[in-house]
Amino acid sequence: MNRSDLKNKINNACDIMRQDGLGIMDYMEQLSWLFFLKAVSEQEEEYKTLAQLKGKEYERILPEKYIWDQWAEDDNLTGDELIDFVNNMFQELSILAGTEMQDMIGVIFTNLRNHMRNGYSLREVINKVDEVKFATDSDVIVLSEIYESLLQDLNEAGAGGEYYTPRHIIQMMIKIVKPEIGDKIYDPAAGTCGFLTEAFTYFKEQSDKIDAEKWEQLREKTFFAREKSPRTYIFGIMNMIIHGIDHPHVSRSNTLSDNIRNVSETEKYDAIMTNPPYGGKEGEMILQNFPIKIKKTEALFLQHIMSYLKKNGKAAVIIPEGVLFRGGKEERIRKKILEEFNLHTMVSLPAGVFLPYTAVKTNILFFDNTHPTKDVWFYELHHDGYELKPTRQADPENNDIPDLLEKIKNREESEQSWLVKVDEIAENNYNLTASRYNPNPGDGEELADPEELLTELLSKEQMITDELNNVLEQLESGVVDE
């Protein structure tokens, strides 16, 4: 089935659900559990065949009556009878346990429900999903692209902004980190698992170098994630399965609930890539898990990442600008990164990269657990190939990412990039903003477009608001570096 036909079928299914009163979050959840059960059922048949070839008895993941072709392909099961069947299925699957996959299914269906009220409409949706196949690599590629586009629709509707990172930014980060087959790759704030699915795609592009054993390792033992939100957790698992990651190791839990003081080497990861939530505040119970007790969510995630990075491991983290220059505890965190890790690269992203969700100015920290930092290469990205407006239309003529990927090879200095010794950074209170060390401050590009200029102003206004809130908190708490 080609992309156009498949997209039409999925759009038709979405139309049916909208007519049944479902909003975008609800019909994305409905599609996700249907795709999930169909994908797991197809995997079951593959696993059963492999077990038979090895002369082994196969133990099913799902109860047989809930295998897709046992109920979903029965056109006589419709109306109220179908609604009752699905509701009973949810109850039974919510208590499924045993293997890692069964435990995950139990968690998924504990946090889900059937949103459709009309059993005849549900039958129509199931029939549309039944036409979707996972049989070939091309099927998987097309379906994964469509599912990603639905996640982006969710973001643009304002329902999923907290967990959708633009895929071209993720791809750029992966190309800089260069994970290797055999690495354990981790996202502690996974959202819809975009970093992990893009890393899997990165490896698939090297398929001529991957033998059967490495493929098994990639699909079953490489990708690890944690996500707090129940719905987002479901979308993330579904995204991984659709991309071909058979055993997604995704935990639905609060990452910050871990005490990071005594993390064993076996618990650590070779590569950590993430865009953690920012702007949030954590309570006293969570703060006890961290050596530097600071309420800001993004600062806690940064400490978590440092603690979970293996010796010689590599990390890439998107962080709001305020973390890079504020004093007090945030300065202590920056000092720790520079003294205990090799912070080799800082990429300053333009305000507007995460529109329409937020205009907050962000940066990407690239560091590895090899040796203390000697110098930092800064790159100021002015354009990312999309308009810096709420519409974020493609703008391929204005894209600095290829230039960044070329210059980083030799850490080349230019009007947009410069190398700074760690001693100079220490003298400046460990400030890590690119503009602080720009040797060409008068040569920056002007934002001629009024909408892009407005985005820049909104970003600065947000930064000022954050700083004022920070000062107010300090005054109220009586702690100067909270």
Show the 3-state SS of 195-207: HHHHHHHHHHCCH
Least Cα distance to 16 among 145, 117, 96 occurs for: 117
Instruction: Indicate whether 47 and 158 sit together in one domain.
Output: no
Give the domain-ending residue among 133, 157, 185: 133
Is-contact 139 1, C-beta < 8 A?
A: yes
Supply the pLDDT for residue 30: 93
Total length of the chain:
482
Instruction: Indicate whether 340 and 425 sit together in one domain.
Output: yes
> Omega before 277 cis (within 30°)?
no
Give the domain-ending residue among 101, 133, 165: 133
Amino acid at 455: T
Is pLDDT at 32 greater than 60 in this prediction? yes
- The answer to whether position 141 is within a domain reads no
HSE-up (13 A, CA, CB side) for residue 474: 13
- The answer to whether position 280 is within a domain reads yes
Total of domains in the chain = 2
Instruction: Indicate whether 162 and 79 sit together in one domain.
Output: no
Is-contact 83 122, C-beta < 8 A?
A: yes
Q: What is the domain range of residue 95? A: 3-133
Instruction: Indicate whether 127 and 200 sit together in one domain.
Output: no
CATH of the domain at 419: 3.40.50.150
SS3 string, 111-178, reads CCCCCCCCHHHHHHHHHHHHCCCCCCHHHHHHHHHHHHHHHHHHHHCCCCHHHCCCHHHHHHHHHHHC
Least Cα distance to 295 among 304, 306, 284, 303 occurs for: 284
Supply the pLDDT for residue 25: 87
Supply the pLDDT for residue 449: 59
- The answer to whether position 419 is within a domain reads yes
Instruction: Indicate whether 178 and 226 sit together in one domain.
Output: yes
3-class DSSP assignment, residue 114: coil
3-class DSSP assignment, residue 409: coil
Q: What is the mean pLDDT of residues 145-173?
A: 77
Instruction: Indicate whether 203 and 327 sit together in one domain.
Output: yes
Instruction: Indicate whether 383 and 413 sit together in one domain.
Output: yes
Supply the pLDDT for residue 209: 75
Instruction: Indicate whether 343 and 375 sit together in one domain.
Output: yes
Report the relative pairing of strands 309-320 and 375-380 from DSSP bridges: unpaired
- The answer to whether position 384 is within a domain reads yes
Is-contact 297 277, C-beta < 8 A?
A: yes
Is-contact 132 10, C-beta < 8 A?
A: yes
CATH of the domain at 85: 1.20.1260.30
Is-contact 37 85, C-beta < 8 A?
A: no
Instruction: Indicate whether 88 and 234 sit together in one domain.
Output: no
Q: What is the pLDDT confidence band of residue 190, given thresholds at 50, 70 and 90?
A: very high
SS3 string, 348-376, reads ECCCCCCCCCCCCCEEEEEEECCCCCCEE
| CA geometry: angle 147, 22, 252, nearest 5 deg | 55
φ, ψ dihedrals at 157, nearest 5°: -80, -5
- The answer to whether position 139 is within a domain reads no
Instruction: Indicate whether 210 and 296 sit together in one domain.
Output: yes
Instruction: Indicate whether 451 and 351 sit together in one domain.
Output: yes
Instruction: Indicate whether 154 and 285 sit together in one domain.
Output: yes
- The answer to whether position 184 is within a domain reads yes
Supply the pLDDT for residue 480: 46
pLDDT tens digits along 58-98: 888 999 999 999 999 999 999 999 999 999 999 999 999 99
Kindly list the distances between the CA atom of residue 452 and the CA atoms of 79, 352, 355, 363, 441, in Å, as whole numbers in the listed order.
51, 8, 11, 18, 20
* Greatest mean pLDDT range, 50-54, 56-60, 356-360, 414-418: 414-418
pTM of the model: 0.86
- The answer to whether position 138 is within a domain reads no
Supply the pLDDT for residue 444: 46
Supply the pLDDT for residue 162: 55
